[in-house]
């Protein structure tokens, strides 16, 4: 997967907006980030289920995302670390986890 495909996929998810923060491309739902992508090196940060964190962080090319909640966000060194299918599933899961923290009204709007 490349950054263009990732962008197209993220924007296909209901209510997703994009913006720039900290010199990174961000994909958000209700102004809450669910993907942070570096345009320089294809590094990604995604929210993950804390139950999956250890398994994910044990894989080569994946670690705790710096400056994000401990054991809740992963940094992926390159989009080649995962298959396209798995990466899309992880992006959808990240969005779902972020959405679950929003009000019921917003959850219904963006479900």
Domains in the chain and their CATH numbers? 3-110 (3.90.1150.30)
State the DSSP H helix or E strand holding residue 19, giving kind and residue range, or none if neither: strand 16-21
pLDDT tens digits for range 68-96: 888 999 999 988 899 999 999 999 999 99
CB 56 within 8 A of CB 68: no
How far is CA 57 from each of CA 16, 24, 32, 62, 68, rounded to the nearest angstrom? 26, 22, 23, 5, 14
Q: Give 99's pLDDT tier (boundaries 50, 70, 90).
A: very high
pTM of the model: 0.91
Q: Which residue has the higher pLDDT, 39 or 42?
A: 39
**Whole-angstrom distance, CA of residue 88 vs CA of residue 80:** 12
pLDDT tens digits for range 3-22: 899 999 999 999 999 999 98
């Amino acid at each position: 997967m490349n950054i263009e495909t990732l962008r197209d996929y993220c924007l296909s998810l209901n209510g997703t907006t994009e913006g720039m923060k900290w010199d990174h491309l961000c994909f958000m739902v209700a102004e809450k980030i669910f993907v942070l992508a570096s345009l320089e090196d294809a590094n990604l940060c995604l929210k993950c289920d804390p139950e999956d964190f250890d398994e994910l962080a044990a894989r080569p090319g994946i670690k705790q995302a710096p400056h994000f909640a401990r054991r809740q966000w992963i940094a992926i060194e390159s989009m080649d670390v995962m298959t396209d299918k798995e990466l899309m599933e992880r992006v959808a899961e990240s969005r779902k986890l972020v959405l679950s923290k929003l009000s019921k009204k917003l959850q219904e709007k963006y479900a």
